[in-house]
Amino acid sequence: MKRYIVIVAGGKGLRMGQDLPKQFIPLNGKPLLMHTLNVFHQWDSDAELLLVLPDSHQDYWGMLCRELNFSIPHKIVSGGETRFYSVRNGLKEIREQGMVAVHDGVRPFVDPEVINACFTEAQTTGAAIPVVPIVDSVRRREGDKSYPVNRDELCAVQTPQVFVSDLLLSAYEQSYSDAFTDDASVVEAAGGRISLVAGNNENIKITTTADLLYAKMLVET
């Protein structure tokens, strides 16, 4: 069955306090985004990689690919105003039925076993996402009060989020809602059900300076 990987990379790096968008920040000599593409290419070299980038970033990405001899095949898709519209643009490149994964460009440490587990589960149930347990104590705020929440009932959501293509494409025909926090929430709003798969703790979304320090530690060990 055809496999598509939609990698969304529209970050501006503002939470890191850097001018360089975070997906281009070097890690072990290569931009974060190249590490992410490499993980999926190594997992399945036949999967079609669709890289969604803002128009303003595409020339810079092309220059990086030439300078670093980055030859992993991928197709560039123009990003949208928000992540929802960026994913929708990526989905327009789906030409045949199959399985579609949507992944954050700044999550370069997803374990290939997690990718495989998500695809395997989604092929059976239609939709699967990786999650990890919450280890901190959690409270819910209501006005000026707060209440403890049972963390055993919660989990942190990661990507890739994997879906049968027809299900995901149909869900993204909906109008945008602020309730859409990820692809799973879009599919659920359209009536789909989501299966959970164990993720890996290293699969962080690199958005802060502390995240980047942790990433550097991971590549050095």
SS (H, E, C) 57-110: HHHHHHHHHHHCCCCCCCEEEECCCCHHHHHHHHHCCCCCCEEEEEEECCCCCC
Residue 26 has pLDDT above 80, yes or no: yes
Which candidate, 162, 187, 160, places its Cα nearest to that of 172? 187
Which domains are seen in the chain, by residue range? 2-220 (3.90.550.10)
Residues 70-81: pLDDT tens digits?
999 999 999 999
CA dist 171 and 167 (Å) reads 6
CA dist 102 and 162 (Å) reads 6
CA dist 195 and 118 (Å) reads 9
Which candidate, 184, 182, 183, places its Cα nearest to that of 193? 184
**Collapsed DSSP state (helix, strand, coil) of residue 153:** helix
CA dist 33 and 170 (Å) reads 28
C-beta separation of 59 from 78 below 8 A: no
Q: What is the pLDDT of residue 165?
A: 98
Q: Is 139 left (phi over 0), alpha (psi -120 to 50) or beta?
A: beta
Residues 119-168: pLDDT tens digits?
999 999 999 999 999 999 999 999 999 999 999 999 999 999 999 999 99
Contacts of 170 (CB under 8 A, 6+ apart): 190
> Residue 37 carries which DSSP code?
H
CA dist 98 and 92 (Å) reads 14
Residues 164-177: pLDDT tens digits?
999 999 999 999 99
Q: In this structure, what are the phi and psi dihedrals at residue 74, rounded to the nearest 5 degrees? A: -160, 155
User: How many CB atoms lie under 10 A from the CB of residue 200?
Assistant: 15
What's the pTM value of the predicted model, to 2 decimals?
0.94
* Strand boundaries in the chain, DSSP class E: 2-8, 26-27, 30-31, 48-53, 75-78, 98-104, 127-133, 138-142, 145-149, 155-157, 161-164, 195-198
Q: What is the pLDDT of residue 13?
A: 46
